[in-house]
Structure 1
């Protein structure tokens, strides 16, 4: 039984931007602590270039390889089983860790909201009662994904648009076009406090502005017109995020000291910026926007992680039990349910900055694969040999730029989280050995090549 083809460009935009927009409300600010306000701004635009390359490359390959699994499905066709297995794991861990970070924020925000509405009642709450709000939100979103992709991404479109609108409302509320109204950039901003090494270190969390936009690829098997919907939804999504990232930095760094923004315990800079305006309306709008962004991100992550896990089960990279499709809702329900406890454990037990780092590292490994993938793809099937939904321009410049930026960002992660980076690399090496020795025997190589293409050039 196959997944339903019911999605259009709006749903692709809602999936990509919905996953990522939470990065404008929280997480990016840890980069300010690494490199100062200007260091974080430089990182935002450098990483924005990285993700523009990701969006261009993904739009071409995914609109051509229109199958659930995104980059995992691409790796099957261009490189081989071992690479595909690793890419599938990169995707699942990146989305599952991001989902865990999102629901942790949701739980804490709900408890903060209760404290704002009823301070006396909030005082009764145990310090860790946010756990229950986290689990409830995770269960609700799992149910929503279980019931169908069209409803899931329609909801995502509504709450993502509302979250993006809240950033615009804050901009107009503080008269962002007038530097002398409420913004105080001249008094708050300093030079690079840690030099250019700090700028490189801040690249690590600059990724949080955009991490997950490549998740639009997971909808490839469920869109009505992959050649149109995927490039349109992905490219408009990255444009939306570039605008949101610029506004976020401009507003937060114009109203809050950079030392406070980069503080490890600072949860939601835009919400805090709204609070100091003295406007209850702006405070309420930004609280709702922050909450909606985290919910939308977790919702999209459940969708994407389950599709990647489902695809690996369908190809026997994992037990075929995970490839089941619900007979009524036509969703990969077993994969959805299986990954929820993993996200819950990390959300409840691991600090936010570490969860973010786990997600970023898995995402970076995936982005490092993309230049290799597009080089192989263009070499095996040159332009004109097969029909493409989109052809990204200036090849191979985007692939070269993407590889250089990925390697630089790995160094940035190593500066702050070297042990986690080495531990993740060791994990992927060990799991690759396990796959080669134990699981590869179940893979059906002939069943993987689902595209009706001519024989690759040179083969």
Structure 2
């Protein structure tokens, strides 16, 4: 195929250009907002497998993995500030096939996380309006927040910061309201996979609970996908990442301990609204605190839902711009300068997942649990590829500008890599059917990748990393 002229390439690049408007506080809001719904729901499914005490150990292990991962991942993000994030890092390190694997895994993570959050939004609204079907409310959430993301990244990021601050405030209020009923004995009773003493079965439960501990922190790496829209990514992204992960670790520990100590924690596992139900132990079903928690609790879910829509749209946009997906998905709205087609495409997939009970509800797990697990599979594979890319680029591109270098290299990225491999192996063992579905997604995507080489050859040269 004849290469495009310089004039054509410049025109194409402008047609695919994002607007640089995001500051440090907005990036911190995105970092925490992407994840904070994990404090409101999802994690309590881990109690059903591991018990409260077993899940604490699992959560500490996963928190250590995420902390070392983020400190290492930040080196990649600041060195290669690209909307594709992990896709761009893997592509530079391992070529087009590596880029495909990282991009596809990230896409699964970010496309399957929003329907799980949307279902939780529906569950919270159902508490307030029992006649409202949760799935219909979830679809309504998609329509509203896709529209907000299309209107503009500056507006979207400002909204994200506001709802994130409100969500943090609400988590602190929750801990304060349930604190009068705090009983450590409530938390520890049956704390080892349903037993009061540690046994070999406790190990089984702790490993099975890994996906739900990951849900506490899933998607924080999505800040990387806003790198092209940051005013000063080499300075602002490290600050956003480091302060973001520290904020989330403190909140995760606080919410988990206070919820479990408020009453019978077994009633909080396998549900989408553990915080309102935990508060019922203390203030009763008709308290004004309950109504406040439901309404303000929505801010946490909305923050993540809205932020992950931003994340998946940039991933779809970057993959399409580079020729890994159809080019029409990379078009930017002429007025708002946002990837509107990518936003809508991810929303279609998410809404379909919400209404696909018979397809996604299998293996003895709920619809939400399977969607969460699918998203986590994508995340873990992407973490592994990203850490391998970090090691590869340290060797193959020693002179690359690195505004932020991973501390304690090679120990931090090595720990993150080994921990991610352990997580992936245990997840395959305990969620084999979901793993098969995930592998089928990757295989079908790889067939498309092989058949569309011409798209990558025709992509605008200045939007790509060298292959």
Q: Secondary structure at the match of 1:395?
A: coil
Please name the residue that 1:444 is paired with.
Answer: 457
Instruction: Determine the C-alpha separation between the residues in 2 that align with 1:306 and 1:67.
Output: 13
Of 398, 419, 431 in structure 2, the residue corresponding to residue 405 of structure 1 is: 419
Contact 1:86 1:428 in 2 (8 A): yes
SS at match of 1:220: helix
Say whether residues 1:203 and 2:210 are aligned partners. Answer: yes
1:108-141 deviation line (CA, Å, top 9, x unaligned): 22122123xxxxxx4xx6xxx3332222211110
CA contact (8 A) 1:72 1:85 kept: yes
- The residue aligned with 1:278 is 283
SS state of the match for residue 19, structure 2?
coil
1:392 corresponds to 2:410? no
Secondary structure of 1:15's aligned partner: helix
TM superposition score normalised by structure 1: 0.90
For this pair of structures, how many residues does the alignment match?
433
Aligned residue in 1 for 2:58? 43
Gap runs ≥5 in structure 1: 116-121, 176-180
Counterpart contact for 2:186–2:260, Cα < 8 Å? no
1:287 matched residue in structure 2: 294
The answer for the alignment partner of 1:178 in structure 2 is none
Question: 1:203-222, aligned counterparts within 5 Å?
Answer: 203-222=210-229
Tell me, in whole angstroms, the C-alpha distance in 2 between the residues paired with 1:187 and 1:112.
Answer: 25
Structure-2 residue corresponding to 1:381 = 397
Q: What residue is the counterpart of 1:370 in the other structure?
A: 386
How far apart are residue 288 of structure 1 and its match? 2.4
Alignment match, 1:70: 85
Is 2:433 the counterpart of 1:419? yes
Structure 1 residues 63, 160: CA separation in 2 closer, same or farther (over 3 Å shift)? same
Distance verdict in 2 for CA 1:97–1:4, change over 3 Å? same
Equivalent position SS for 2:129: helix
Task: Quickly say closer, same or farther: Cα 1:299–1:5, change in 2 above 3 A.
Answer: same
Q: What is the Cα deviation at residue 234 of structure 1? A: 1.0
The 5 Å alignment of 1:249-288 reads: 249-262=256-269, 264=270, 266-278=271-283, 280-288=287-295
Moved more, 86-95 or 135-144: 86-95
Q: Which moved more, 1:347-356 or 1:325-334?
A: 347-356
Match in the other structure for 1:322: 329
Q: Residue 451 and residue 424 in structure 1: after superposition, are their counterparts in 2 closer, same or farther (change >3 A)?
A: closer
CA contact (8 A) 1:54 1:214 kept: no
Correspondence for 1:134: 138
Partner of 1:186: 185
Q: Which runs of 4+ in 1 moved over 4 A?
A: 445-453
Structure 2 counterpart SS, 1:209: coil
* TM-score, normalised by the number of residues in structure 2: 0.88
Aligned to 1:307: 314
**Alignment partner, residue 9 of structure 2:** none
Equivalent residue, structure 1, for 2:103? 88
In the alignment, structure 2 segments of 5+ residues that lack a partner are: 1-13, 194-200, 358-366
Q: Check whether the contact 1:7–1:222 (CA below 8 A) recurs between aligned residues.
A: yes
Q: Deviation of residue 447 (structure 1)?
A: 5.7
Q: Which residue of 2 aligns with 1:160?
A: 164
Change (3 A) 1:256 1:400: same
